[in-house]
Amino acid sequence: MSAMQVELTEKGLERRLRVEVPAEQVEEEVRNRLQALARQVRIDGFRPGKVPLKVVERRYGPSVRREVRDALIQSTFTRALAEHRLRPAGGASFELEGELAPGAALRYTAVFEVYPEFEARLPEGAEVERPRVAVTDEDVERMIQKLRRQRAEWVPVDREAREGDRVIIDFRGSVDGQPFPGNEGKGHAVELGSGTAVQGFEQALLGARAGEGRSFDVDFPEDYRVPQLAGKRVRFDVQVKEVREARLPELDEAFLQSFGIQEGGLEALRREVRASMERELEQAIRERVKQAVMDALLAANPEVELPRSLVGREMEVLKRQLGAGPAPGTEEEAQQRWEERLEAQARRRVALGLIVAELVRRLALRADPAQVRARVEAIAASYEQPEEVIRWYYSDRGRLVEVETALLEDQVVEKALEVARISERPMSFDELMGAGRGGASR
């Protein structure tokens, strides 16, 4: 029997494998399947297991040939990949050359991309900024005030709205005189000075009174999450329904008990708040440093070629995560800007994934089972029933792989920090946490 023939064509990261499976091998596979089928099928006029092969072929031949075609494509494609030592990045598309007729060879071309081959470099000498922050007594007091504000009673007042007030409004927005999806709202609450609305919106409501109408323009940022509003000037017509001020709860026993403080009074609450803030601070510093390291890794490896299939797949993931995209009827320019921003994020993620994976391989990094267990236990500790969370992780290999991947990424960050230049930047707690939250959610 003649052997399978394979031709390989390369263009950038694209590979084309033209495969020809000889007719003898195809016919042998078809015959074997028909014979197995003949022993199982029931056809009127024939005893079970005694159906002639010709009868079986007449009835089931076309479907059997399709099954053989699909099975041979998968098995021969896997063999061809192994022979040429190819690592596909994403799936392959298969182009058949004609139908698989009796006595004919199977010919097809598999088109796919491969992972790029490159030598990933650590960011030697790159400057990585590490925030230097301490939780002060003033930070703790401000946080306690925030906790009081979270439990505030909002009381209507007959005066002009000022910072810290909550204003209840009806609004209608338009761009160039035209409405847009979600441009209207009734009974909408805006807390002045909170920074949760687009910059300029809260400021435009300062000094307003209940019953007053206001019209003003707000310039939306270029990277705003809703494409049809990004970079646009939006006109808002607002009717103020109420102005409310916050009445804060007293720092009494009931307030303390709502945070689980049974004894020790206000000092115990301060200790709890400080400990929580320090945990949050530690995590924020780690994330800030990691982000800086990732930026440095990209700068140190600018030549990495990215498979289009991986970028496309990452864009689909981002679309699902963001949950917002261009609405029907969005102008082409806004839609294009949104796609470009999305593609830039996807390319960054894919590039970092390839760089980190190559460094893990080159540096022979491993996720130790004890480290994996410790990380899972740390995650589970924040839940009411940690043992159930631990069992949940260990019941699915895929979940553990996510933990292992995170650990390996942390190891790459540590290796990068060993060769980078670390500079410290003094910051306040609010400055760091505010920078961490950024404007992405706005």
* DSSP states of 397-439: HHHHHHHHHHHHHHHHHHHHHHHSEEEEEE--HHHHHHHHHTT
Q: If you search the block for the tokens 């075609």, which residue do you land on?
A: 69
Q: What is the pLDDT of residues 90-132, one digit of tens each?
A: 889 999 987 778 888 999 999 999 999 999 999 999 999 999 9
**Crossing angle, helix 397-419 and helix 369-380, to 10 degrees?**
110
Residues forming a β-bridge with 218: 234
Helices (H), 85-210: 137-150
**Do 86 and 217 have their domain in common?**
no
Q: What is the pLDDT of residues 67-89, one digit of tens each?
A: 889 999 999 999 999 999 999 99
* pTM, rounded to two decimals: 0.78
Q: What is the pLDDT of residue 2?
A: 62
**Do 236 and 301 have their domain in common?**
no
Question: Does any domain span residue 230?
Answer: yes
Confidence of residue 65 (pLDDT cuts 50, 70, 90): confident
Q: What is the pLDDT of residue 331?
A: 67
In this model, does residue 38 exceed pLDDT 90? no
**Do 261 and 162 have their domain in common?**
no
Per the structure, the complete domain to which residue 64 belongs is given by: 5-113
Q: Which run of H or of E encompasses 57?
A: helix 53-84
3-state secondary structure of 9: strand
Residues forming a β-bridge with 217: 235
Question: Does any domain span residue 399?
Answer: yes
Query: Which whole number is the average pLDDT over 185-198?
Result: 93
Confidence of residue 439 (pLDDT cuts 50, 70, 90): very low
Q: What is the pLDDT of residues 338-373, one digit of tens each?
A: 888 899 999 999 999 999 999 999 999 999 999 999
Amino acid identity of residue 39, one-letter, is: R
**Crossing angle, helix 429-437 and helix 137-150, to 10 degrees?**
50
Which of 89, 113, 137 terminates a domain? The answer is: 113
Query: Which whole number is the average pLDDT over 325-333?
Result: 63
- Measured distance CA(165)–CA(189) in Å, rounded: 10
**Do 51 and 188 have their domain in common?**
no
- Measured distance CA(335)–CA(400) in Å, rounded: 38
The number of C-alpha atoms within 13 Å of 57 and in the hemisphere containing its C-beta is: 9
**Do 66 and 103 have their domain in common?**
yes
**Do 12 and 77 have their domain in common?**
yes
The CA distances from residue 218 to 204, 243, 249, 283, in Å, are 9, 21, 35, 35
The CATH number of residue 333's host domain is 1.10.3120.10
**Do 242 and 259 have their domain in common?**
no
Which of 231, 247, 263 terminates a domain? The answer is: 247
**Do 243 and 260 have their domain in common?**
no
Residue 169 in tokens: 């409004």
Length of the chain: 442
Q: What is the pLDDT of residue 262?
A: 87
Which range among 41-50, 268-277, 432-441 has the greatest average pLDDT?
268-277
Helices (H), 250-307: 253-257, 265-300
Residue 246 in tokens: 């916050």
The CA distances from residue 393 to 321, 381, 382, in Å, are 22, 13, 14
Question: Does any domain span residue 126?
Answer: no
Q: If you search the block for the tokens 């200790």, which residue do you land on?
A: 271
Output the average pLDDT for the chain.
Answer: 89
Q: What is the pLDDT of residues 201-220, one digit of tens each?
A: 999 999 999 999 999 999 99
**Do 389 and 262 have their domain in common?**
yes
Which of 209, 229, 247 terminates a domain? The answer is: 247
Question: Does any domain span residue 131?
Answer: no
Question: Does any domain span residue 172?
Answer: yes
In this model, does residue 1 exceed pLDDT 90? no
Query: Which whole number is the average pLDDT over 317-338?
Result: 73
The CATH number of residue 16's host domain is 3.30.70.1050
The CATH number of residue 194's host domain is 3.10.50.40
3-state secondary structure of 325: coil
Question: Does any domain span residue 140?
Answer: no
In this model, does residue 61 exceed pLDDT 90? no
**CA-based Rg of the chain, rounded to a whole angstrom?**
32
Q: What is the pLDDT of residue 329?
A: 56
Q: Are 421 and 125 contacting, i.e. CB atoms less than 8 angstroms apart? A: yes
Q: Are 207 and 160 contacting, i.e. CB atoms less than 8 angstroms apart? A: yes
Q: What is the pLDDT of residues 385-411, one digit of tens each?
A: 999 999 999 999 999 999 999 999 999
**Do 220 and 266 have their domain in common?**
no
Question: Does any domain span residue 298?
Answer: yes
- Measured distance CA(214)–CA(370) in Å, rounded: 61
**Do 297 and 328 have their domain in common?**
yes
Q: What is the pLDDT of residue 316?
A: 92
Q: Which run of H or of E encompasses 214?
A: strand 213-219
Question: Does any domain span residue 201?
Answer: yes
Other C-beta atoms closer than 10 Å to the C-beta of 314 total 20
Q: What is the pLDDT of residues 157-190, one digit of tens each?
A: 999 999 999 999 999 999 988 988 889 999 999 9
In this model, does residue 436 exceed pLDDT 60? no
**Do 182 and 222 have their domain in common?**
yes
In this model, does residue 440 exceed pLDDT 60? no
Nearest to 236 by CA among 194, 190, 206, 204: 204
In this model, does residue 335 exceed pLDDT 80? no
Domains: count for the chain: 3
